[in-house]
Chain A
Amino acid sequence: MSSDNHPALPLSQQLEISCQICRSQFNLKLNTHIPLDGVCAIYGHSGSGKTSLLRTIAGLEHHSNCEIRFAGETWQDKYTFVPAHKRRIGYVFQEASLLEHLTVKQNLDYAIKRARKLNQFSYQQVTDLMKIEPLLAQLPSTLSGGEKQRIAIARALLSQPQLLLMDEPLASLDLTHKNEILHYLEKLKTEVDIPIIYISHSPDEVARLADHLLVLDKGRLVSDKPINQSFELLNTATRHINEQAVFLQAFVVSRLDKWQQIKVGLKSNQAGSSPAYLWLTDNGLQPGSELRLKILAKDVSISLTKALDSSIQNSLLTEIEKIEPLDDGMQLITLNASGHLIQARISNKAVFDLKLYAGIQVYAQIKAAALI
């Protein structure tokens, strides 16, 4: 797949990659331009070659059939190989990778001493952002996984990189720490101006953080688009992990302070679609703000009539697009709510009893929509 999807960017805002990496598990072949703006996620299953790609960008792996140009500057081609320590990158590894023989403070100092001569991020800004002030005197072995990752991110920032590479920084963390770090990553994204390449095999993380999405499958680039054009792909991706869900781009329409609710409108790319609205718990966002929603298929039920006596507030009139059997006695029903696709996970029996088939109109009752 070519990079025609974002042709307008000047060279100075692109990371050009043309790569061929042969391994026993995969055969990575890739030719694209990654926009150096916001978060570009590279999504793929393990064995798709995404870590090798990131390490090649960093200069940690040297494959001869690769060319990499960062903002017009050649990092690697047939004749050039800029070693990792001379590329202006920060790298956050999957597992915590603090230098064990140094304290937290010394780990940060290690980066500061060798920092590139740019002062984009001040020590204060970074330690505040990652809230690591209280940990400074400790040795890495005394820290939790989440704390270690926060420090690793801070350390990467303090080396004053021009590009931040993150290789599944959440993968080795438990759920609590995952959410904690996700929160910090979002702060990082909004408060720090640095292009980030983020590797993940979690559709959630990608939907939450990415501005641009590259999808790798068995070493092939199968999608290379801005995130708002990639949700459908992520929706299919969720099916592989048996937690079917859809991701939706939305905006705040109005606030109902009395009930602590906000009204959000779903954005659609489809022409001629009329707006659809949902009520959500107030999260402090002001009208006009954008947000991303995730609706799990198991949180959506179907009713043939509009239920006026239900506690479920969000009910949308939809048309059944297709019904697919899942392998556990359930069926996945794709619903079209005036241009917005939602999925519902319904038992075989319910599909039979309600006589559901593609083309009929039903009400989708949405129990919960998570802000992500």
Chain B
Amino acid sequence: MLSLSPADYSAIVLTLKLAAVVTFILIILGTPIAYWLATSRSRLTSVVNALVALPLVLPPTVLGFYLLMAMGPTGPIGQLTQALNLNGLAFTFSGLVVGSVFYSLPFVVQPIKNAILAIGQRPLEVAATLGASPLDRFISIILPNAKPGFLSAAVLGFAHTVGEFGVILMIGGNIPDQTRVVSVQIYDHVESLEYTQAHQLSGLMLIFAFVVLLLVYQFNRKQSQVNHVF
């Protein structure tokens, strides 16, 4: 039934690879941010909260545009990569990873933060009075209790990266096997009037997105007594 071209398949594989790498990094990076946001009383939390949430309201092209500028040799990211003797990030898989991490950050930080907030201060205080250090409290109290939040975060981070388009369009350069992900491939099909192929890939995306959201909501319904992620 499906008649996908090798380029389509390569775009699918690349997209899944990107989403997996990005999700992994986001969980590692998003967890301490979420923990800090959920527990700190610092005034800086509102600033960080706003920064993390920016991709939710900004058009992806704005984010992509600034990333493109930042990755150039005169931009801050470009300066950094030059100082580290690395190649430029624009038009590379690593560049997409960096962009996607920014772009999907709120989708990972939010559910983890909410799950940690739902645990409340009390169990953490109990653990502290029993001699548990902050790291110990994180591992022994937060991780087991916030499991549903982490799962939601991973699924949403993955799905959102798969569905990402604007940022990748801006910094990707449309290179097969490196930066040409499914959404860009669909765009190309549409723009070059290849509507059949566009349909097939779009249909796959639609089904994927629906199934993912269905799983998240069903899982959350089961967990709803424990905590609320949305």
Contact = CB atoms under 8 A, between A and B. Distances in A.
B126 A99 contact: yes
A91 B131 contact: no
A110 interface: yes
A207 interface: no
Given A99-B141, A101-B145, A85 B132 contact: yes
A352 to B, nearest CB: 55
Contacts of A249: none
Contact of A84 (B128, B140, B145): B128
A130 to B, nearest CB: 16
Interface string A343-369: 000000000000000000000000000
Nearest to A161: B129
Interface string B91-127: 0000000000000000000000000000000110111
A221 interface: no
A97 to B, nearest CB: 5
A60 B121 CA distance: 10
Contacts of B6: none
A323 B145 CA distance: 60
Interface string A80-102: 00011110011101000111110
A111 interface: yes
B127 A58 contact: no
A93 B144 contact: no
B129 A84 contact: yes
Nearest to A165: B129
A83 B123 CA distance: 16
A225 to B, nearest CB: 29
Given A101-B144, A101-B145, A110-B140, A93 B126 contact: yes
A159 interface: yes
B131 A156 contact: no
A182 interface: no
Contacts of A155: 130
A317 interface: no
Contacts of A93: 122, 125-126
A60 B127 contact: no
B126 A114 contact: no
Interface string B127-157: 1111111101100110011000000000000
Given A99-B123, A101-B144, A101-B145, A91 B129 contact: yes
Contacts of B140: 110
Contacts of A84: 125, 128-129
Contacts of B127: 85, 99, 110
B123 A114 contact: no
Of listed B123, B126, B131, B133, residue having the most chain A CB within 10 A: B131
Contacts of B133: 85
A64 B134 CA distance: 21
A316 to B, nearest CB: 48
B228 to A, nearest CB: 16
Nearest to A91: B129
Interface in A90-125: 90-91, 93, 97-101, 110-111, 114-116
A85 B141 CA distance: 14
A155 B141 CA distance: 16
A98 B130 CA distance: 12
Of listed B125, B140, B141, residue having the most chain A CB within 10 A: B125
- In the complex, the 7 A-B pairs of residues with the closest C-beta atoms, listed nearest first: A114-B131, A91-B129, A84-B128, A85-B128, A159-B130, A111-B130, A97-B126
11 contacts: A60-B128, A85-B128, A85-B136, A93-B122, A98-B126, A99-B123, A100-B123, A110-B127, A114-B130, A114-B131, A159-B129
Given A85-B128, A110-B130, 17 more contacts: A60-B125, A60-B128, A84-B125, A84-B129, A85-B127, A85-B130, A86-B131, A90-B129, A91-B129, A97-B123, A99-B123, A99-B126, A101-B144, A110-B127, A111-B130, A116-B131, A159-B130
